[in-house]
Chain A
Amino acid sequence: MDLHIAGQPPERDERAAVDSVLGPLQFGKLESHHLQQERPARSQRHLLLPVLHAINCRIGWISPGALNYACGRLNLPPAEAFGVADFYGLFSMTPRPRVVIHVCDDIACLMRGAPAICEHLAGRLGPAGAAKPSAKLTWLRSPCLGLCDRAPAALVSAAGREPWECALAPTSADALLAAAEQPERRPEPPPVAASLSVPQQGQQELRLLRRVGRLQPESLEDYLAEGGYEALRRAVDLGPERVIREVIDSRLVGRGGAAFPAGRKWEAVYRARSTQPARYLVCNADESEPGTFKDRVIMEEDPFLLIESMTIAGLATGCEQGFLYIRGEYPVAFERLSHAVRQARKHGFLGKQILNLDLSFDIEIRRGAGAYICGEETALFNSIEGYRGEPRNKPPFPTEVGLFGRPTLVNNVETLVNVPGIVLWGGRSFAGIGTPGSTGTKLFCLSGHVARPGVYEVPFGASLASLLDLAGGVAGTGRLQGVLVGGAAGTFLSPRELDTPMTFEGTRAIGAALGSAVVMPFDDSVDLSKILLRIAAFFRDESCGQCVPCRVGTVRQEEALSRLFGGHAEGVGQAPLQLAEIGQVMSDASICGLGHTASSAIQSALARWAEFSDLRQGSVPED
């Protein structure tokens, strides 16, 4: 392939942004024939996403000069790189103001003041995304930012030589405008006590959350003082096969949504060592399911726990390289984990000689860039490799052909942080907690109309009602209309179903799924039609666009819903049948889980619509 790169040479800032990731160009001044000569290996493509981040951070958008320069350095055709960059919501392919306010208008924030914030910003700055590039700032609507416990939420980012990002929650239009006023200085977000996100903080029974609030998240010393890295030592004593045995015995099931037994994957990746010496570990921290924020809380409050867990997993399965893929909208988690990785390396917990033994494992952190679909494991591989985040066809499964085509162990953050406990206290003892089908404790994300939103840890088996009680009961009017379980890809349940056990098997028995353990109740004043429309819009926005059932189905689904709720005479009668058929083709014929579940919440709500309406009628008049 001969690269064809047209256009102007890069400006200084454009080159600096790219060089900050790739290192300075060896040949001095860049001329077109240098582009031809300087041919790094094709495998450098995996640096495309970090390079795009650097460009967007520095220039404020992905400018042609910067992209072309990056393509020359990475030996990538510009059309391909453009297609990758244009896939991600956080990158702009056209010039825009340096400061961007991303206002969450997703479900939890929708109920807690996001519409008023958007209206205010629209009044001050014009419609979302409409500001001229020369303006000081612009604003955009954003899907769930994973801060639902502190809704309403927003993320402010400022590009430039000293870029910054800042998540603000709870926030207000005035606070956002004030933060955006001074792009030179990162605003100090008001300190948030860990106990706000973890109301159970300090309780004895906690396992996964036991250190939250007891340590400085940045401090390796604190972590060690709280029993950190004991599990790694124990794992090294036990050896890979025993560790994997314990994970199998624990009957730990993946917490990322697909509910796959963790031990089976670990074993498969370990076994693959005979044919494939190079294997990878990937920690999926792309947490983007609306209503989900459990992984963020772990990463922000106990970052070393995740690093230790990944190290155990890597050493047990024989993967020398781990990747931690954190969603782009989590700046605090990214910073704390980057810091933790550096500290761990410095103190011999990562790198070539872990614990001064002949053990080698290291972690690369990668940031997503605004794409829910990149949480799907094979889309995540493509994203790391520098391709568009489009899911791959399965089979083959990741344990056979995963990242860079190698056998890969991919696990969710919460799945992994269960492992130190399993190693320390034994798989059998872990399996004794919870129910036979759902072992251990589980983190639930409570937000919406509950008195005390936050992440709650309970042994598996608790009912939906007891979870609501734990979080202080139904807030708002105090009268429950329904509960969204599992997030946008989940199921609406009615008050009749409150005694459902929140286990994998208990939810499955009523045709629901635990998903990412979202529990979001709505009081009887909420107009659920608005919530359903928001969910439909979410899937339309987040479909990768690869397959027809989902690419067009998510559009037709949103249209049919708005026909149904808009009360337009023509077509209303047809809408329910259309929605059912759209739902069926999406779940039957789509490539991946996004399409398979894109109609689930909507269909479940429509099936209970009469019940919800009765409850709503009982209270406020419908608007």
Chain B
Amino acid sequence: MEKKKPVTQESFPFIASAPSPTVPVPPGPIPAPPPAASRNEVALTIDGKTARVPEGSTLLEACKTQGIDTPTLCYLENLNPVNVCRVCVVELEGARTLVPACSRRVENGMVVRTDSERVRLSRRMVLEFLASSVDVSTAPELQSYLERYGGQPERYGPAAQAAGEPEAGPAGVHAAPDGLTAATVAQPVKIDNDLYVRDYGKCILCYKCVQACGEEAQNTFAIAVAGRGFDSRISTEFSVPLPDSACVYCGNCIGVCPTGALMFKSEYDMREAGNWKESEQQRTDTICPYCGVGCTLTLHVQDNQIVKATSPLDQEVTRGHLCIKGRFGWQFVRGKDKKKSS
């Protein structure tokens, strides 16, 4: 073996003065802003009418009490709002910019407009931006919003040639546009396991799957946002296939994905074969038989076959989250059936 020079601090002029690990970080959890006391009511004006809602509510909740249907994409009631999609923005008197309804808390005397020209323009543009850069074919909710706001995603030009895998090159580098086409996030579907596929060409980067995999449900942290700007993407470390990652196949990320970017392999295969018929499917709620926790499962059945399993968000035990057995256990049932019948 080649003899190596001993490593000393002097050999690293830049590192020698790097910080020591002794920075006093205060002990204990990071303090969160105090939760608002819920008894008190707050009065605000929404679209000219007075609304009274409990203190601590969000503008989204306040709008709901007025029967106003606010579009949302990155919001989900069982996750902390990340407020990144900005489709829910409303106009708040006195604020320089629009504010996200999903995370902004109500304050006494707020005057809010939810359907002004400014609001409509921003919502339409956000939807056009997404629909012109992402494949939204399995995102019916987004499509319906697009129609509601009259978005025309075609106007940015035909989709640019897919650049292939997006992970090459350091952050902050891109090829100049050709002046004709519109860049998209189109890329090959990732099929690297039998349980679910990842089609990031359909990803609107709502961060929900990362939340569900991490602190807010699964605590596995198999996936995170990588890259920067338009090249941001959901990724495992060094883009390794899922079986090499920390993933435990709880499927919670599939459960929260609003665009079908994450999809049961069974659903994906059926869609590819043209056999997926959502309108013909029946849903049955049952209790997961695998352990004593008692999670509610919603089984989606088509032609007497279970085709996927979800869990209702408002269910107390799971709040929509499951484990591999609940999420995918039915596949073994079906697998056996298949073997029998063949």
Contacts and interface: CB of A to CB of B under 8 A. Distances in A.
A161 interface: yes
B43 interface: no
Nearest to A45: B25
A543 B174 CA distance: 12
A163 B129 CA distance: 43
A540 B230 contact: yes
Contact of B237 (A58, A64, A92): A64
Contacts of B4: 12
Residues of B in contact with A, size category: 35 or more
A570 B232 CA distance: 30
Nearest to A566: B179
Contacts of B32: 405
Nearest to B183: A555
B293 interface: no
Interface string A268-279: 000000001010
B179 A568 contact: yes
B171 A21 contact: no
B180 A371 contact: no
A168 to B, nearest CB: 18
A58 B12 contact: yes
Interface string A43-67: 1101100100110011000001001
B84 A584 contact: no
A261 interface: no
Contacts of B220: 1, 4, 77
B130 A54 contact: no
B11 interface: yes
A165 interface: yes
Interface in A257-291: 276, 278
A545 B232 contact: yes
B15 interface: yes
Interface in A529-574: 533, 537, 540-549, 551-556, 558-560, 562-563, 565-566, 568, 570-571, 574
B103 A393 contact: yes
B228 A589 contact: no
Contact of B228 (A68, A400, A545): A545
A537 B176 contact: yes
A57 B14 contact: yes
B125 A553 contact: yes
B328 to A, nearest CB: 19
A333 interface: no
A588 interface: yes
A585 B19 contact: no
Residues of A in contact with B, size category: 35 or more
A34 interface: no
Interface in B224-249: 224-232, 235-238, 240, 244-246
A80 interface: yes
B17 A342 contact: yes
A331 B24 CA distance: 26
B18 A53 contact: yes
B219 A1 contact: yes
A86 interface: yes
B255 to A, nearest CB: 19
B171 A54 contact: no
A128 B174 CA distance: 11
A130 B221 CA distance: 33
A320 B156 CA distance: 52
B48 interface: no
A94 B227 CA distance: 13
Contacts of A43: 25
Interface stretch (B53-61, B162-170, B274-282, B298-306): B162-170
B221 A80 contact: yes
Contact of B171 (A86, A165, A565): A86
Most chain A CB within a 10 A radius of its CB, from B33, B227, B237 = B237
Given A88-B171, A91-B170, A562-B177, A162 B11 contact: yes
Contacts of B236: 79, 82
Nearest to B207: A546
A393 B225 contact: no
Interface in A491-549: 533, 537, 540-549
A600 interface: no
Contacts of B171: 86-89, 370-371, 541
B178 interface: yes
A544 B245 contact: no
Given A86-B226, A388-B225, A588 B122 contact: yes
A20 B226 contact: no
Given A22-B21, A77-B221, A589 B157 contact: no
A581 interface: yes
Most chain A CB within a 10 A radius of its CB, from B97, B172, B183, B240 = B172
Contacts of A570: 157, 180
B111 interface: no
B74 to A, nearest CB: 9
A53 B15 CA distance: 8
Given A1-B221, A404-B30, A6 B229 contact: no
B121 interface: yes
A589 B89 contact: yes
A54 B133 contact: no
B173 interface: yes
A559 B223 contact: no
Interface string B86-104: 1101000000011010010
B229 A93 contact: no
B205 interface: yes
B66 to A, nearest CB: 22
5 contacts: A6-B244, A93-B167, A161-B5, A533-B176, A537-B174
Closest 6 CB pairs of A and B: A405-B30, A545-B232, A77-B221, A566-B179, A4-B246, A83-B224
Given A68-B237, A79-B235, 11 more contacts: A6-B240, A21-B18, A82-B224, A88-B171, A94-B168, A163-B14, A335-B17, A545-B229, A547-B83, A562-B177, A589-B126
